[in-house]
Structure 1
Amino acid sequence: MQDNAQPAVTISAIASAAGVSIPTVSRVLNGRSDVAPATRERVEVLLREYGYRRRGAGRPTSSGLVDLVFNDLDSPWAVEIIRGVEELLNTEGLSMVVSAIHRRGGSGSTRKWLDTLGARPSDGAILVTTDLDSFLHAELQRLNLPLVVVDPAGVPDLEVPTVGATNWTGAVTATEHLLQHNHRRIGYVAGRPGLWCSRARLDGYRAGLDAAGIAFDAALVVGGDFDYASGFAAGIELLTLPDRPTAIFAASDQMALGVYEAARQQGLRIPDDLSVVGFDDLPEAGWASPPLTTVRQPLSEMGSLAARTLVRLIRGEAVESPRIELSTRLVQRASVRALHP
């Protein structure tokens, strides 16, 4: 029988007693290595003295269930991440529940998932999110649920482990590839404003131009939203400029394929009249006509690494690095043609 005379000890009470912040206690509970040894020991002692019950403490076995949560499930890269997570969890004898917290659904969608999470056991969660808002972050800390964030759209500087890709380097590589093919007027279709990866890829594009001694031209940069429709709209805008670009680098494959359709409607052929490079290396990139040259973001590997990291947290093991970025690489296909010098 549960003893109701003693109130549950909270993370904030432990933090106050230890003279540290709540995120520091959370890092100790999550096995993070970026805590000073003396501080970790002081927090661990207090956790034992106060009888703090970690999530799932007292259960003879784990639930064997992990939550995989997306902002939206209609993105093609969701399938790639699911594949990587599932393969790793299968080797560990764990199962997963896939959910979506829709960006357009407001806080109600988040609240519904949290209510569902509270109604059934879960050993931990992997969030594939473009926006880990303060409410969701606080609720997950309150639940003390082991958590890893996969951020193809970018969530830096969290108090939980994150797995991402080298967005800046990938964008530099794509821009350099076009420059090596003698393109000097290169359009850019940017990702959703305000996201870390959008900034990193735009900065990489600019750095590639700067290294080649080419001045940045804001007229050649058009904003997008990582989807086909915004890529098409940006393509039309760039290709109807009085002095249109000879090549376009799009910050996602979906937007690059939108540029394909814009070029078709403008009577332009790829790569004869326009070279195009994307970012992601989704299966659709290889099926396009012509097949799309793109920067491969290792989505399946990111999912697998996130799952492996979460398993370590569930087991109470320390995580060496709070953020891991996997390498991107250029996949050359048939959508780029060299211009004559």
Structure 2
Amino acid sequence: MAVTLADVATRAGVSAATVSRVLSGNYPVAGATRTRVLRAVEELQYVVNGPASALAAATSDLVGVLVNDIADPFFGIIAGAVQSEMSDGGTAGTGGQKLAVVCNTGGSPESELTYLTHLQRQRAAAVVLTGGAVEDEEHGAAVATRLRRLAAGGTRIVLCGRPPLAPASLEASRGSSEGGAGDEPDEGDGIVTVAFDNRGGSRRLTEHLLSLGHRRIGYVAGPADSTTTRHRLEGHRLALAERTPGLLAQAEHFTVHGGDYDRSSGYDGALELLRRVPDLTAVVAANDTVALGICAALRDQGKRIPEDVSVAGFDDLPFSADASPALTTVRIPLHDAGARAGRLALGRETPPPGGVATVRVELMVRASTSVPAGRAD
């Protein structure tokens, strides 16, 4: 029986994608991993199937960009920046222009999987996935499987604003008593991540409110099953815990969960917070759009911003600086992040060490936050 790629992967203790990367030479692989794979190839006398390899490596000029909602400025800015990189052909060695196709999932896990399947069938040159991932173990495993199949076929994969995938070697090592390969990252997957520092940004935002003297701080969270929601809430609570345990103890009562990243969720969330905590002095929003809804609800309840209640958002979307009052928020350089994702997808930029680059965020202090009423520091 002929030796297969899977046989080599098993002998080397890595994934089939890693073996493919080592043999094709298209992606950087750790030296120790490469040595282990080549040794397995020699020991098993594995011979690459030339025609099959050529077919598997053949890709089209299509680049898929998966977004949650293209009407949301967050996703629109990233997708626009990615697409600009695709149309910037003419650079030597980049393969010319690509056709960027925006796939609007509507937040549906099923749609996300369907689009990935279609892109695999079309032998897409690259796929860029934007925004937070759905926190469902079964769905996450299905997405990881599709992405690794795409990568093994020559498609470049870039996660923009999503957490990196768990190393395939760690998954393969579950249930095995052998050490070695499963103890190190699987760098041969060829999947690159441009991550946003949601925890750090949220932490700085809450620290800003605490430094102003706020202690009764409400929080309107995003969708409960989103990694972005969890990371931003973790940063907020970390800041509270560092200030005093008492603030962390009341955090759950001061948090409204489960809304979408839209204006109506902010409006309804603010009303619920005022019902729970009538003497609230500040509210942190899951994002800037939610913050606008919070501001509208507070005004309808006769509250002044920031004199009675301070409001802060996240993302620094284009309207944030022009809101009235201008919105204090955390700025993510969305256009720069999208452009970088586009360059990585085209192979125009060297992947970051370890395959993960974290985008730095910036606290933007504006007129929507001030010291609490009755305090004049």
* 1:249 CA displacement: 0.9
Task: Call closer, same or farther: CA 1:124–1:290 in 2, change over 3 Å.
Answer: same
SS in 2 for 1:215: helix
* Contact kept? 1:168, 1:203, Cα under 8 Å: yes
Task: Rate the CA distance shift 1:105–1:338 in 2: closer, same or farther, 3 A.
Answer: closer
Counterpart in the other structure of 2:354: 321
Give runs of aligned pairs for residues 174-253 of structure 1, distance below 5 A: 174-213=205-244, 214-216=246-248, 217=250, 218-223=252-257, 224-253=259-288
* Equivalent in 261, 265, 269 of residue 304 of structure 2: 269
CA distance in 2, matches of 1:171, 1:10: 48
Taking structure 1 as reference, are residues 70 and 10 closer, same or farther at Cα in structure 2, changes over 3 Å only? farther
Which residue of structure 1 lines up, in the alignment, with residue 144 of structure 2? 137
Deviation at 1:246, TM superposition (A): 0.2
Match of 1:88 among 85, 88, 98: 85
> In 2, are the aligned partners of 1:149 and 1:161 still within 8 Å (CA)?
yes
Which residue does 2:9 correspond to in 1?
15
Scaled by the length of structure 2, what TM-score is found? Answer: 0.75
- 1:31–1:319: 8 Å Cα contact kept in structure 2? no
Give the one of 49, 73, 85 matched to 2:70. Answer: 73
Structure 2 residue matching 1:269: 3-state secondary structure: coil
Query: After superposition, what is the alpha-carbon deviation per residue over 1:227-270, rounded to whole angstroms, capped at 9, x for unaligned?
Result: 22222111111122344320011121111111111112211121
Deviations 1:100-122 (A, max 9, x none): 2525556366435633652x453
Q: State the AA in 2 paired with 1:325.
A: T
Equivalent pair of 1:32/1:320 in contact (CA under 8 Å):
no
Cα deviation for residue 25 of structure 1 reads 3.3
**Is 1:49 aligned to 2:56, yes or no?**
no
The CA distance in 2 between the partners of 1:108 and 1:212, in whole Å, is 42
Name the stretch that deviates more: 262-271 or 66-75: 66-75
* Alpha-carbon distance in structure 2 between the residues aligned to 1:24 and 1:50: 14
**Aligned AA (1:324):** A
What SS does the corresponding residue of 2:65 show, helix, strand or coil? Answer: strand
| Larger relative contact order, structure 1 or 2 (CA cutoff 8 Å, min sep 6) | 1
- What residue in structure 2 maps to residue 298 of structure 1? 333
Instruction: Kindly report which structure 2 residues correspond to 1:271-286, keeping only aligned pairs within 5 A, or say none.
Output: 271-286=306-321
Please give the alpha-carbon distance, in whole angstroms, between the structure 1 residues aligned to 2:198 and 2:69: 21
Deviation at 1:281, TM superposition (A): 0.5
1:151 matched residue in structure 2: 161
Q: Deviations over 1:144-197 (max 9, x none)?
A: 222111125x45536522111111110111011111211111111122224332
Describe the shift of the 1:267–1:146 C-alpha distance in structure 2 as closer, same or farther (beyond 3 A).
Answer: same
Q: Distance in 2 between matches of 1:220 and 1:137?
A: 35
Q: Deviations over 1:294-316 (max 9, x none)?
A: 0011211221222222223x89x
Question: For 1:14-38, what per-residue CA distance to the aligned partner results, in whole angstroms no more than 9, with x for missing partners?
Answer: 4235443335436656625456342
Mean CA deviation greater in 37-46 or 70-79: 37-46
Return the alpha-carbon distance in structure 2 between the equivalents of residues 26 and 250 of structure 1: 44
One-letter identity of the residue aligned with 2:76:
V
Moved more, 196-205 or 277-286: 196-205
Distance 1:233 1:155 in 2: 33
CA distance in 1, matches of 2:21, 2:272: 47
Aligned residues: 329
Q: How large is the Cα RMSD of the aligned pairs?
A: 3.3
Alpha-carbon offset, residue 289 of structure 1: 1.4
SS at match of 1:219: coil
Structure 1 residues 337, 21: CA separation in 2 closer, same or farther (over 3 Å shift)?
Answer: same
Cα pair distance change 1:27/1:182, threshold 3 Å = farther
The residue correspondences of 1:166-181 to structure 2 (distance < 5 A) are 166-181=197-212
Partners of 1:292 and 1:47 in 2: CA distance: 64
Q: 2:35 aligns with which of 18, 38, 42?
A: 38
Task: Specify the SS of the correspondent of 1:279.
Answer: coil
AA aligned opposite 2:367: A
Q: Deviations over 1:29-75 (max 9, x none)?
A: 6625456342354478789832365576676xx74442222233232
Match of 1:4 in 2: none
Unmatched runs of 5 consecutive residues or more in structure 1: 1-6
Indicate if the aligned counterparts of 1:33 and 1:319 stay in contact, CA closer than 8 A: no
Q: Distance in 2 between matches of 1:211 and 1:104?
A: 34
